[in-house]
Amino acid sequence: MRGKMNMGDIFLKLLNRSITAGWFLLAVLCIRLIFRKAPKWMHCLLWGMAAVRLICPFFVESGFSILPSTEPIKTSTVVDGEVRNDIPSIDSRLTIVENTINPLLTESFSYRESESAAPLQIVTYAVGVAWACGTVLLIVYAMGSMIRLNRLVREAVCVKDPIYLCDAVRSPFILGIVRPRIYLPSALCEKEMGYIIAHESAHLKRKDHWWKLLGYFLLCVYWFHPLCWVSYAMFCKDLELACDEKVARGLTFHEKKEYARVLLSCTRQRSLLMVCPLAFGEVGVRERVKSVLNYKKPTLWMMIAAAAVFAVSALCFLTDPPDQDAFLQADQAEAENASSQGENGDSRPLERMPVEKTSTQKGSPEPERGILPQTKETAAEGDIIQDVVLYERPEADKVCIEIQPCVIRKHLFYYYIPPQEDQKWLSGQIEALDLQGGPLNKRWEGYKETGWKILYHDIIMTGLEGGFLYYTYYDEEKGMMESLIEAPKLCDYIRILLTEEAGYQNYDVSEIKDIVSAKLEVNAIFTDRQPYSQTITDAETLQKFEDWFKNAKYIFGGADCGNQCACLELTLADGDVVKLSMATDSCPNFSINGVAYDYRPVPNWDNSEFFKCFDEIPR
């Protein structure tokens, strides 16, 4: 007999509830993909229904329920006609799964009364303690973040309740639960402030600061379930999209463009957990810009379809399958007649047995995700950086982006191939560009490169800051021609795409100051192609680096020296991390994600002076 409910028992109940609710979370994720054009407040309602499944301990039984079981992991099983409360079992309604896993569980968790404790109790208690520690850590993290933000805005000035201006704030957000306040950067102009206040006010009217807090609390409780992390991230994105749509509903097309521009100007890096504040430019900015610019009032058929989806979802996922308690009794009755082959008296019909095996035939393996077969017209896989597959060459008929990430890499540059959902939009934008130009006249002067290039069919365009593209081509009558194309919408989209997907970083070298550490990683010819790494914290050397790098001069078109074999990671006092790809020959050059600089402090400077600072790395 088991005594009082302990941490392990609590965890098992939550584990079962999370597995059951996981089917609903997966369904909501699929519905989001299918109904992408549906109003985003409908997605928020679906997340609310999924939260109900995670919170409520019981539901009405219904024949419409498609859930396999409300208790997929049981703490008891039937062995030789006897109910054993110290051996777990799986209730998946799939006989092949149960007949495979349950005997293994019986063998692993068998318990003799001479032993001091059952293995099941030991395992569940240990896992329960680990779950509790994870939950406490997430809650402490959230509380620490709130305290840090409160300290950050303690000198904020009230403009009009509940709007506050603060010099220390970089991006607008809402802070507070009972009396929420809107905090804005002091540097915002009045026009930008109007759009941002409209967005944040929409959050307050919808009580999103409460719903996001509830979502984070559920994440703290169910942190062990991967789908909960994915769902929380999508829920935060849908909150922002829903508010954007609420604001866009009353804007003209010109005002929508201005709103999108303000949204881009407030873009900020996504925090690890996206804890409590509702930040204006934090989540899925590129998708939000598209949503605002393409917003249309939902049609009647869309509303009817949404209502049908809600009803079907509630019937299928917010009800329990019938006769849940009859399972164990049926097992006990049938166990008396079980054969020596260990059928365990399964009373479920034979048609539930799988009729075909899932097979992966030799000679026809499925390609791994993101890796394309090598042919003349497809890209060859290069490296995986930040979980993104980069390619050695572009792929025909697709928009490809040439990049030079600040990491040690095999090749000077790689190609990032955006996913299919982005390809259609990008190709449409490129095909709509006016590429006609004039004779070569250095039209690029006065513009700084962004570090990436667009390749599409036979078009190669260099991205320039300010939303411009530089394109050269050959005309049979006029010779070499060039054009400077203004395409801010396309350039901003690619910038956000590379920031979110490939970790790209735009950084002004003049802001390299107050360096607290410098980590150099090298894998070059002079190290015999062996990886070496050294971190420097010496203040005198770091000051020398600061003087060199912050005064570096930009080089249009990049440098002739390869810089893919050494990466310098600078950590600044304000917490920023800047990565530089360093040349490994005599050239005093470096680049930041493809933007090249010459950092020589005096003429005839040799790059070996830099490497001499790292005495643990051979030369």
Q: What is the pLDDT of residues 5-50, one digit of tens each?
A: 678 888 889 999 999 999 999 999 999 888 887 888 889 999 999 9
| Cβ neighbours, 10 Å, residue 317 | 24
| Cβ neighbours, 10 Å, residue 367 | 8
Distance, CA of 91 to CA of 89 (rounded, Å): 7
Q: Identify whether 2 is part of a domain.
A: no
Banded model confidence at residue 2, pLDDT cuts 50, 70, 90: very low
**248 and 202 belong to one structural domain:** yes
**278 and 171 belong to one structural domain:** yes
Complete DSSP assignment for 467-534:
TEEEEEEEETTTEEEEEEEE-HHHHHHHHHHHHHHH------GGG--SEEEEEEEE-SGGGTT--EEE
Lookup: tokens for 409:
């890499």
Burial 176-188 (b: 16+ CB within 10 A, else e): beeebbbbbbeeb
Mean pLDDT, residues 481-502 taken together: 88
pLDDT (0 to 100) of residue 30: 93
Q: 175 pLDDT exceeds 50?
A: yes
Residue 342 vs residue 149, higher pLDDT? 149
**153 and 239 belong to one structural domain:** yes
Q: Identify whether 136 is part of a domain.
A: no
Q: 350 pLDDT exceeds 80?
A: no
Across-strand partners of 568? 520, 580
Give the total number of structural domains in the chain: 4
**348 and 321 belong to one structural domain:** yes
Domain with 473, as residue range(s), is 381-501
Mean pLDDT, residues 478-485 taken together: 90
E strand intervals along 30-168: 73-74, 77-79, 82-84, 89-90, 157-160, 163-166
Across-strand partners of 595? 592
pLDDT (0 to 100) of residue 384: 58
**307 and 448 belong to one structural domain:** no
Distance, CA of 53 to CA of 47 (rounded, Å): 10
Q: Identify whether 616 is part of a domain.
A: no
> What is residue 175's three-state secondary structure?
strand
Question: E strand or H helix at 140, and its extent?
Answer: helix 119-152
**177 and 311 belong to one structural domain:** no
Q: 377 pLDDT exceeds 70?
A: no
**280 and 328 belong to one structural domain:** no
Q: Identify whether 617 is part of a domain.
A: no
Mean pLDDT of the chain, nearest integer: 80
Q: Where are the alpha helices (DSSP H) in 169-299?
A: 190-206, 208-221, 226-248, 253-265, 285-293
**162 and 283 belong to one structural domain:** yes
Q: Identify whether 61 is part of a domain.
A: yes
Mean pLDDT, residues 252-257 taken together: 86
**494 and 519 belong to one structural domain:** no
pLDDT (0 to 100) of residue 381: 53
The domain boundary residue, chosen from 501, 522, 553: 501
Assessment of whether the complete model's pTM goes beyond 0.85: no
Distance, CA of 527 to CA of 521 (rounded, Å): 11
Distance, CA of 93 to CA of 69 (rounded, Å): 7
pLDDT (0 to 100) of residue 469: 93
**CATH, residue 547:** 3.30.1490
**440 and 412 belong to one structural domain:** yes
Q: Identify whether 341 is part of a domain.
A: yes
| Residues 6+ away with beta carbon under 8 Å from 361 | none
pLDDT (0 to 100) of residue 328: 39
Q: Identify whether 42 is part of a domain.
A: yes
| Cβ neighbours, 10 Å, residue 370 | 14
Banded model confidence at residue 517, pLDDT cuts 50, 70, 90: very high
DSSP 8-class letter at 407: S
The domain boundary residue, chosen from 268, 293, 318: 293
The domain boundary residue, chosen from 474, 501, 528: 501
pLDDT (0 to 100) of residue 339: 36
**146 and 266 belong to one structural domain:** yes
Q: Which of 138-152, 447-461, 497-511 has the lowest mean pLDDT?
A: 497-511
Q: Identify whether 495 is part of a domain.
A: yes
**341 and 483 belong to one structural domain:** no
Distance, CA of 179 to CA of 175 (rounded, Å): 9
Angle ∠(271,276,279) on CA atoms, nearest 5? 65
